């Protein structure tokens, strides 16, 4: 037992080596819940009216704690796979290492849950503190299990991060609190019953064990399966040898070799395609066909138009999906090639050549996701002006691709992933989301995606272009981020001893 506790303490110390990770573990739930609670409660009241009206904001604390715990569990396992296997070889045993990893993960999940509960209490208060607190902690434990299980199964952080985000996005955006409808496929989402439990709303399809029973099955089951998968992976010694990955002519060479590494990662490309297909298609399917007001400007006249919620939901899910995935592409493509870029600089490559090559890879990933998202959307939704709708979404992809580079340079991989979860959700998912209110709130006026989302919303539902100011705002963001990215990337790629 003493050895297990010692391992747990050392695992937590390992996590805290970058203090920014601990800060973000607390700060991200605070910001998320503070900004999301009001909007989610208002929207859920309009579309669903589930449970106690004063309890509608409660799931936001669980969503924040769940994502943070899932990502923490993922990186907690990914960054130490080889070390854990060596500890197994040294006689520690897979079971003891598994318990230590899970215990340290539970500590991180509790920290995230406490932060989220505190933010909710300050923001909206808690009608049922016991129900909300227990539910939030269960969210954290459920996603901790998912993160650890994915981390034990996948081989790199790109695939693992996409997996966690894919599950979380489906769970939150298409779950009972956000979608306001009951479609059978959503019942297999991890937090379906847990969300209803937190909302104090009966599902009516939980059978003899009830909503609480299914919520416990998902929570305890995810931990148990994670323990089994992690113990199996840790006990498998395998090959512990270090594996290495592998004008215009230089840019082409840098792009070719940079893209080759990511081309080999088939799982990443599958997720970049599959996530938009499944996510956007399902959003059309489960959204209730109810009228919703949207503030639009048509031929210079600003007015409130009544639009089907299905169309609004489907249209806004495209930039939300693109922002998440383009940001991750920018984060991981550059973070995964920092040492290689430094070597290219030593070999005589100029910073602009390296930057152009890396952005070529990011652009392909972002444009692939954008193209697939638009193609899927076109099946169920017909924009008034497709060129403008496409252009607005491409602008979102470019902005968030470059933001991913900047965030990764400042916060690193784990911290960067926390931020790239928070920023797209707050910006595109809340501040620019016309589903929550006819006109986006003033506090999101100068966030990165404001201009681009206004452009694509205008193109989706009007026949004339009336967003010149939004185009100027977007151009300013692109230039500002582009210049900052070039400066930051120049420091990353500066010749140094490698």
- Is 261 buried (19+), middle (13-18) or exposed (0-12) by CB count in 10 A? middle
What's the pLDDT band for 243 if we cut at 50, 70, 90?
very low
pLDDT of residue 143: 94
**Between residues 219 and 201, the one the model is more confident about:** 219
Residues 15 and 39 reside in one and the same domain = yes
Nearest to 353 by CA among 362, 344, 361: 344
Cα torsion angle, 468, 470, 472, 474, sign: negative
Nearest to 100 by CA among 15, 11, 231, 25: 11
pLDDT of residue 219: 94
CA 177: distance to chain centroid?
Answer: 18
* Region label for 50, one of left (φ > 0), alpha (ψ between -120 and 50) or beta (otherwise): beta
Whole-number Å distance between alpha carbons of 375 and 388 = 15
pLDDT of residue 245: 37
Report whether pLDDT(498) > 60: no
Residues 398 and 256 reside in one and the same domain = yes
Whole-number Å distance between alpha carbons of 186 and 413 = 31
pLDDT of residue 94: 74
Please give the average per-residue pLDDT across 124-139, as a whole number.
Answer: 89
DSSP letter, residue 51 = S
Residues 450 and 431 reside in one and the same domain = yes
Residues 429 and 292 reside in one and the same domain = yes
CB 315 within 8 A of CB 460: yes
The per-residue pLDDT for range 146-157, each reduced to its tens digit, is: 998 898 888 777
CB 195 within 8 A of CB 62: yes
pLDDT of residue 242: 42
Residues 119 and 223 reside in one and the same domain = yes
Report whether pLDDT(290) > 90: no
| 185-191: long-range contacts, CB 8 A cutoff, minimum separation 24 | 185/282, 185/286, 186/286, 190/142, 190/143, 190/146, 190/218, 190/222, 191/62, 191/66, 191/139, 191/142, 191/218
DSSP reduced 3-state for 296? strand
Domain of residue 93, residue span: 1-239
* Total of domains in the chain: 2
Task: Count CB neighbours of 218 within 10 A.
Answer: 22
pLDDT of residue 84: 73
CB 350 within 8 A of CB 260: no
CA 433: distance to chain centroid?
Answer: 17
Total-model pTM: 0.75
Whole-number Å distance between alpha carbons of 151 and 79 = 9
pLDDT of residue 480: 92
pLDDT of residue 121: 87
The torsion angle over the Cα atoms of residues 212, 213, 216 and 221, rounded to 10 degrees, is: -150
- Close Cβ partners of 262 (under 8 Å, ≥ 6 residues apart): 268, 333, 361, 365
Residues 188 and 266 reside in one and the same domain = no
Three-point CA angle 177, 33, 163, nearest 5°: 65
DSSP reduced 3-state for 443? helix
Beta bridge partners of 391: none
CB 267 within 8 A of CB 154: yes
What's the pLDDT band for 271 if we cut at 50, 70, 90?
low
Cα torsion angle, 205, 208, 211, 213, sign: negative
Nearest to 198 by CA among 78, 116, 311, 316: 116
Asked which of 11-20, 408-417, 438-447 is least confident by mean pLDDT, the reply is 11-20
Whole-number Å distance between alpha carbons of 254 and 361 = 10
pLDDT of residue 47: 52
Nearest to 306 by CA among 290, 324, 319: 290
Widest CA span in the chain: 74
Residues 182 and 229 reside in one and the same domain = yes
Residues 251 and 229 reside in one and the same domain = no
CB 212 within 8 A of CB 202: no
The per-residue pLDDT for range 298-336, each reduced to its tens digit, is: 888 888 888 888 888 888 888 988 998 888 888 877 766
Where does a domain end: 220, 239, 258? 239
Residues 232 and 193 reside in one and the same domain = yes
Beta bridge partners of 307: 292
Where does a domain end: 213, 239, 265? 239
pLDDT of residue 385: 92
**Between residues 223 and 94, the one the model is more confident about:** 223
Residues 418 and 482 reside in one and the same domain = yes
Report whether pLDDT(362) > 60: yes
Residues 212 and 325 reside in one and the same domain = no
Task: Count CB neighbours of 16 within 10 A.
Answer: 12
DSSP secondary structure of 240-294: -S------HHHHHHHHHHHHHHHHT-HHHHHHHHHHHHHHHHHHHHHS---EEEE
Please give the average per-residue pLDDT across 368-386, as a whole number.
Answer: 87
CB 24 within 8 A of CB 418: yes
Residues 250 and 232 reside in one and the same domain = no
Whole-number Å distance between alpha carbons of 441 and 224 = 43
**Between residues 177 and 305, the one the model is more confident about:** 305
Angle between helix 157-173 and 129-153 (nearest 10): 150
- Beta strands per DSSP E along 152-300: 291-298
297 phi/psi in degrees, rounded to 5: -120, 115
Where does a domain end: 239, 264, 288? 239
Report whether pLDDT(30) > 90: no
């Amino acid at each position: 037992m003493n050895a297990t506790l010692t391992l747990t303490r050392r695992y937590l110390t390992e996590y805290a080596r970058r203090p920014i990770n601990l800060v973000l573990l607390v700060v991200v739930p605070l910001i998320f819940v503070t900004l999301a609670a009001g909007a989610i409660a208002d929207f859920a009241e309009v579309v669903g009216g589930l449970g106690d009206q004063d309890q509608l904001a409660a799931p936001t604390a669980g969503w924040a704690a769940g994502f943070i715990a899932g990502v923490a569990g993922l990186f907690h396992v990914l960054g130490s796979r080889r070390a854990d296997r060596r500890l197994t070889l040294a006689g520690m045993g897979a079971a003891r290492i598994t318990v230590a990893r899970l215990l340290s993960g539970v500590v991180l999940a509790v920290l995230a849950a406490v932060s989220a509960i505190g933010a909710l209490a300050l923001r909206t208060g808690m009608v049922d503190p016991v129900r909300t607190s227990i539910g939030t902690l269960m969210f954290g434990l459920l996603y901790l299990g998912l993160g650890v299980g994915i981390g034990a199964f996948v081989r790199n952080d790109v695939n693992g991060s996409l997996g966690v985000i894919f599950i979380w996005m489906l769970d939150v955006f298409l779950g009972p609190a956000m979608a306001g409808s009951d479609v059978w496929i959503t019942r297999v989402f991890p937090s379906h019953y847990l969300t209803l439990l937190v909302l104090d709303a009966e599902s009516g399809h939980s059978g003899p064990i009830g909503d609480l029973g299914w919520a416990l099955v998902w929570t305890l089951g995810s931990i148990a399966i994670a323990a089994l998968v992690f113990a199996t992976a840790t006990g498998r010694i395998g090959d512990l040898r270090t594996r290495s990955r592998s004008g215009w002519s230089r840019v082409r060479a840098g792009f070719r070799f940079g893209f080759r590494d990511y081309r080999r990662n088939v799982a990443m490309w599958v997720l970049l395609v599959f996530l938009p297909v499944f996510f956007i298609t399902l959003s059309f399917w489960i959204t209730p066909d109810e009228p919703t007001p949207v503030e639009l400007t048509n031929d210079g006249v600003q007015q409130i138009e009544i639009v089907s919620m299905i169309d609004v939901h489907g249209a806004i899910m495209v930039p939300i999906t693109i922002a998440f995935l383009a940001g991750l592409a920018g984060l991981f493509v550059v973070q995964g090639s920092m040492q290689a870029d430094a070597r290219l600089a030593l070999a005589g490559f100029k910073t602009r050549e390296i930057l152009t090559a890396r952005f070529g890879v990011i652009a392909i990933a972002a444009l692939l996701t954008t193209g697939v998202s638009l193609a899927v959307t076109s099946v169920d939704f017909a924009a008034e002006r497709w060129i403008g709708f496409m252009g607005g979404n491409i602008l979102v992809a470019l902005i968030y691709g470059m933001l991913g580079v900047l965030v990764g340079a400042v916060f690193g991989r784990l911290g960067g992933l926390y931020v790239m979860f928070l920023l797209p959700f707050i910006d595109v998912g809340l501040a620019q989301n016309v589903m929550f209110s006819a006109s986006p709130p003033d506090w999101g006026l100068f966030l990165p995606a404001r201009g681009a989302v206004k452009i694509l919303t205008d193109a989706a539902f009007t026949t004339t272009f009336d967003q010149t100011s939004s185009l100027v705002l977007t151009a300013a963001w692109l230039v500002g981020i582009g210049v900052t990215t070039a400066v930051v990337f120049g420091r990353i790629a500066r010749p140094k001893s490698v």
